[in-house]
Chain A
Amino acid sequence: MSSRRTSRQQSSGVPRISDDQIIQLVSKLRQLLPELRHSRRSDKVSASKVLQETCNYIRSLHREVEDLSDRLSELLSTIDADSPEAAIIRSLLI
């Protein structure tokens, strides 16, 4: 049976992924998620729950980008890029 991974997709020298590695990565994900971050560390949260929450979170982040783009398109249309207002905005941000 041919090997499961071809050399083209693997970066060289990557060892086989251990379960521990995945567990660590999943716990890092968990810390990012607002829903799960506040639950006690000892609470066992299943990997599938973390993945589900991650998908929900990414979707909500996308929605937020949409809303902000909407808001900005209305605000920025009144401001000309070379005007002093634009300079004020830039100085407020940086």
Chain B
Amino acid sequence: MRPPTNSTTFKREFLKKWLLALQLCNNHHNNNNKNGVVERKNTIKLSAEIAMAAARNGATCWSRALIAKHSSSSSLHNQTPPPRHSKKRVLRCKRIIRRSRRCIHHGPAAAVVRRKTAVLRKLVPGGELMGDEASLIRETLDYVTSLRAQIDVMRRLARASDRVAMCNGMK
């Protein structure tokens, strides 16, 4: 896994890809006349998630997992790379990992950690495929940092849009 990129660089990459994705979705929806607020919200959320993953440039498991998850989605054009894990391989990976993890930890404290780790695996994209705890924690660190960068950019866009709307006297 490549070391985390500079935060500003990541934010720029994310913004670029996100605006592009939003424009593509806008064109797509304008053709289909689907402009409801809920549609729009899902588009914004979906394109932000994909842009965040794409900005990581395939360096992390979580970003690849997100892109694989969305590459079959019909709400975007096929701009994303093909999935790295086919469904069969994913199932095999899960079975093997489960088998290898069964005997590693003992004792009640370890059981608590294992439970929390299992919850974390469900929250981090691709978490179920990460074999050992160290990888999981490393991916979590990167995922959390990327999420925070994504939120920061989205917040700024919201603030900027607010200002523009106010200047136009819409409020």
B100 to chain A, nearest CB (A): 4
Which residue of B26, B41, B124 contacts A58 across the interface (Cβ within 8 Å)?
Answer: B124
Which residue of B96, B133, B143, B165 contacts A9 across the interface (Cβ within 8 Å)?
Answer: B96
A16 to chain B, nearest CB (A): 9
Is residue A5 contacting chain B, with contact meaning CB distance below 8 A?
yes
Do B100 and A4 touch (CB < 8 A)?
A: yes
Do A22 and B161 touch (CB < 8 A)?
A: no
Do B151 and A65 touch (CB < 8 A)?
A: yes
Which residue of A5, A59, A78 contacts B100 across the interface (Cβ within 8 Å)?
Answer: A5
Do A66 and B45 touch (CB < 8 A)?
A: yes
Distance A40 CA – B165 CA, assembled complex (angstroms) = 44
Do B15 and A69 touch (CB < 8 A)?
A: no
Dominant secondary structure at the B interface:
helix
Q: Which residues of B contact A78 (CB under 8 A)?
A: 165, 170
Q: Which residues of B contact A5 (CB under 8 A)?
A: 100, 131
Nearest A residue to B146 by beta-carbon distance?
A: A61
Chain B 32-78 residues near chain A, CB threshold 8 A? 35, 37-38, 40-45, 48-49
Do B120 and A55 touch (CB < 8 A)?
A: yes
Do A68 and B155 touch (CB < 8 A)?
A: yes
A52-73 CB mask vs B (1 if < 8 Å, else 0) is: 1011011101101110111111
- A-side residues, CB < 8 A to B, are 4-6, 8-10, 17, 21-22, 25-26, 28-29, 32, 47-48, 51-52, 54-55, 57-59, 61-62, 64-66, 68-79, 81, 85, 88-90, 92-94
13 new A-B contacts, CB < 8 A, other than A47-B113, A48-B116, A94-B15, are A8-B93, A21-B134, A25-B134, A25-B141, A29-B144, A51-B117, A55-B120, A58-B143, A68-B154, A69-B42, A81-B22, A88-B160, A92-B156
